[in-house]
């Protein structure tokens, strides 16, 4: 079954790193090398994982604050460090999809859902990774670093993405893996499911439901589609409301 003209389409909004592609540790390592070589600071991996989901400029500004850098981070220097980091990432990245990613995207496409992606990566990097995953045509809209004035955990990324998809908040679902991403989805008034690909469940407890991975999310959404035929609010929503 697919949506007719008289039906409002459900939308599923994805993050990229740690949700579709196992890339978070590669981003962290690329940041470490770029910052060390260009700014002469050794940044801990734990801090970079904490900053997961922020756009490149925001990462650098927070690093400068935490490490009390005296180098003025603006203009050309920001661009140079970010460009070098992306180059390091693409040169070192071993492409590994999150288990179940391709199957989930294809299944949701068969259901007729509109799919979107909100990521702090640049558009070039995001499109390259989606292309390698083989699912780029499935995504109707992307919101990337260039599109945001206020990144996650603010509402702009997912609010703007839902507007691009032409969806309603009540019929939209976000799949995330980071606290910042969950907060962004909630700020936009959207239901959010989280997977424990990069963070333990205790750090993701603001999500409506935390599951081990995408395979479990697919089972949940397949059952939901069979019982609701893709109409109205999510059928499982009443089962996962917090007290």
pLDDT at 4 over 70: no
DSSP 118-137: E-SS-HHHHHHHHHHHT-GG
CB atoms within 10 A of CB 172: 26
pLDDT at 238 over 80: no
d(CA 185, CA 159) in angstroms, rounded, equals: 8
Residue 232 has pLDDT above 80, yes or no: no
How confident is residue 241, by pLDDT bands cut at 50, 70 and 90?
low
Q: pLDDT by residue (tens digit) across 86-101?
A: 899 988 888 889 999 9
In the predicted model, is pLDDT for residue 175 greater than 80? yes
The answer to whether residue 5 scores a pLDDT higher than 80 is no
Q: pLDDT for 199-218, tens place per residue?
A: 999 999 999 999 999 999 99
Residue-wise pLDDT for 13-39, tens only, equals 999 999 999 998 899 999 999 999 999
Helix (H) or strand (E) holding 237: none
Q: Are 133 and 17 in contact (CB under 8 A)?
A: no
> Region 41-47: what's the mean pLDDT?
93
* Paired tokens of 50: 């904490």
115-144 mean pLDDT: 94
Average pLDDT for 70-77: 79
Global pTM value: 0.86
| Domains in the chain: ranges and CATH | 11-23+96-239 (3.40.50.1000), 24-92 (1.10.150)
**Cα distances (Å, whole numbers) of residue 232 to 94, 156, 161:** 40, 24, 20
Hunting for tokens 């299944």 — which residue is that?
107
Between residues 222 and 74, which one has the greater pLDDT?
Answer: 222
């Amino acid at each position: 079954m697919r949506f007719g003209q008289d039906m409002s389409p459900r939308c599923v909004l994805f993050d990229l790193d740690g949700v579709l592609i196992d890339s978070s540790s590669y981003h962290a390592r690329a940041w470490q090398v770029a910052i060390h070589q260009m700014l002469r600071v050794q940044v801990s991996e734990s801090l970079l994982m904490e900053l997961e989901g922020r756009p490149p400029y925001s990462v650098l500004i927070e690093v400068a604050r935490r490490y009390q850098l005296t180098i003025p981070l603006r203009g050309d220097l920001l661009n140079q460090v970010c460009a070098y980091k992306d180059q390091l990432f693409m040169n070192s990245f071993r492409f590994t999809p999150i288990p179940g990613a391709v199957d989930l995207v294809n299944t949701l496409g068969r259901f007729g859902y509109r799919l979107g992606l909100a990521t702090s990566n640049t558009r070039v990097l995001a499109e390259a990774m989606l292309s390698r995953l083989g699912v780029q045509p499935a995504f109707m809209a992307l919101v990337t670093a260039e599109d945001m004035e206020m990144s996650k955990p603010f509402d702009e990324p997912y609010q703007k993405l839902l507007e691009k998809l032409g969806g309603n908040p009540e019929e939209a679902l976000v799949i995330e893996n980071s606290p910042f991403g969950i907060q962004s989805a909630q700020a936009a008034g959207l239901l959010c499911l989280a997977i424990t690909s990069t963070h333990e469940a205790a750090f993701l407890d603001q999500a409506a439901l935390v599951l081990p991975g995408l395979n479990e999310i697919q089972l949940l959404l397949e059952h939901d589609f069979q019982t609701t035929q893709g109409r109205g609010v999510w059928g499982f929503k009443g089962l996962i409301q917090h007290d």
